[in-house]
Structure 1
Amino acid sequence: MLIKVKTLKDFKLDSLDGEIGKVEEFYFDDLHWTIRYLVANTNNWLTGRQVLIAPYALTSVMREEKDIAISLTKKQIEESPSLSYDKPVSRQFEGDYYGYYGWPVYWGGPYMWGAYPYFPYIIRDSGKWGQYVQDQNAWDPHLRSTEAVTGYRIQASDGEIGHVEDFVIDDETWAIRYLIVDTQNWWPGKKVLISPKWIERVSWNDSKVFINVPRETIKQAPEYTEEALLTRDYENGLHRHYGRQGYWIDEEASVGQSH
């Protein structure tokens, strides 16, 4: 189901043997725009280090209870490779981290989850992990923080339209489905959704996201409100407005090709 990053912030994190803290933010990659790590605020439990939890270990998101279940013990988390708060997430750290847990690396293939096109396919069939081999389509991920990218300006083909206010993620696949754009300086009081698939490029140095769509097209798009239910009907209307195919169609096709 679709849920906002800001809604997930401060959700309780429950390991197999007790609470470890709360959700602080997320790291995502700049190719597939998929969540790669949840960053936990562990208060005084593990001080001086970033505690990262990969989606492989996130077994369920319980919205009413504001709780996320993790299939790891406190000891596993405590003994996992350590990353200081003042250090970026390096490839060496990720290699050590994935090796420690015995998970297939997400950058080792062409799909959103490496050799696998669809995340639940992995978690429901962990026996296939042993069949995994890195192929020539491996890629070098660059991780970004949802907190850092919040506030990036959005540039349409004929001018700015606003800034990134939040992210809408799919808590089954952990893909970022939409950026919530606040258009307050151009179209007061209105918000719209932009899919990462519609992004032409991102200038990380200039904190700016470029989309090849005119401002008037964006203005006429279905409005997003806090009360709006992100139903498939709403998504169909949104994609139809932009003349784009839904991400669910692409992913269903990828899953079919992998079998």
Structure 2
Amino acid sequence: MLRNIAFLQGSAVKASDGDVGTVRQIYFDDEAWGVRYLVVETGDWLRDRQVLISPYAVSHSDPGSSAVHVKLTRLQVRDSPNIDTHKPVSRQHEIQYLRYYGYPTYWGGANIWGMGAYPAFDESATAALPLGAFPVVGPAPGADDPLADTHLRSTEGVKGYHIEAIDGSIGHVSGFIFDDEAWVIRYLTVDTRNWWPGGKEVLLATEWIESIDWFGSSVSTMLTRDAIKQSPAYDDAIPVNRDYETALYEFYGREGYWSKQRV
């Protein structure tokens, strides 16, 4: 199901034995657009410490419930590796985190989640091991793969980036639409109202993004301003369904991602 990622922010995270905290921001990787971690503020329980929760841990997150249920205990979360959200999350920290929980790596494979299209793995393979003793499943960084370069970005940090069409500016990033099964960002929501009279909010598929200037805070696409202006309007009060997606892709003359073998 496609959902606006804003609905995750502020959601309560519930472990099997009680509340963990509240989602404050979301980290995604800027290559595959996979949602890699929820950054959770634990509040008084852990003295306002922030922890990472991977989609691997999510059992379900029902739309409208304002809660994310995870297959973890409060003890597991308490003893998880510390994170400093004021600094970039390094690959070394990710390896430490994945080893602690026994999760496979998502990098180095052919799909969004390494060897798979969804954040799923065989939990029985590590069920008998003590916490922190799990091997990391998947390729480790090589000599040419800097440990600090993980391509992780915060959705809050990218909001407001200018959208640059092939023939000029047309809007700014106002939000994100993600697939809550594959945990991948499918669309940026683009607000064009500050760029042209009578503007509207539209969707820009992440696969149509040509490049991102992280220093200049802009997102570039090979689409034209006129095409974006004429594209189907997006209404955040109405869920994005397959009919809308089909109409959007047909408008641009593109093949839908759902018809391809890889996601």
- So what's the TM-score if we normalise by structure 2? 0.88
Root-mean-square deviation (Å): 2.4
- Per the alignment, do residues 166 and 55 of structure 1 end up closer, same or farther by CA in structure 2, a change over 3 Å counting? same
CA contact (8 A) 1:109 1:136 kept: no
* Matches of 1:46 and 1:87, distance apart in 2: 20
1:226 counterpart residue number: 236
* Matches of 2:223 and 2:125, distance apart in 1: 41
In the TM superposition, structure 1's runs of 4+ consecutive aligned residues that sit over 4 Å from their partners are: 125-130, 135-140
- So what's the TM-score if we normalise by structure 1? 0.89
2:139 counterpart residue number: 134
- Per the alignment, do residues 2 and 153 of structure 1 end up closer, same or farther by CA in structure 2, a change over 3 Å counting? same
1:178 counterpart residue number: 187
Q: Does 1:202 align with 2:212?
A: yes
Instruction: Output the amino acid matched with 1:18.
Output: G
* Matches of 1:222 and 1:89, distance apart in 2: 37
SS in 1 for 2:37: strand
2:56 counterpart residue number: 56
CA contact (8 A) 1:60 1:68 kept: yes
Identical amino acids, percent of aligned pairs: 45
CA contact (8 A) 2:42 2:48 kept: no
* Matches of 1:4 and 1:185, distance apart in 2: 21
2:11 counterpart residue number: 11
* Matches of 1:127 and 1:20, distance apart in 2: 24
Structure 2 unaligned segments of length 5 or more: list them.
127-134
Query: Residue 128 of structure 1: CA displacement?
Result: 8.0
CA contact (8 A) 2:38 2:52 kept: yes
1:163 counterpart residue number: 172
Query: Residue 92 of structure 1: CA displacement?
Result: 0.7
Q: How does 1:69-88 map to 2 (within 5 A)?
A: 69-88=69-88
Structure 1 unaligned segments of length 5 or more: list them.
none
The structure where helix makes up a greater share of residues is 1
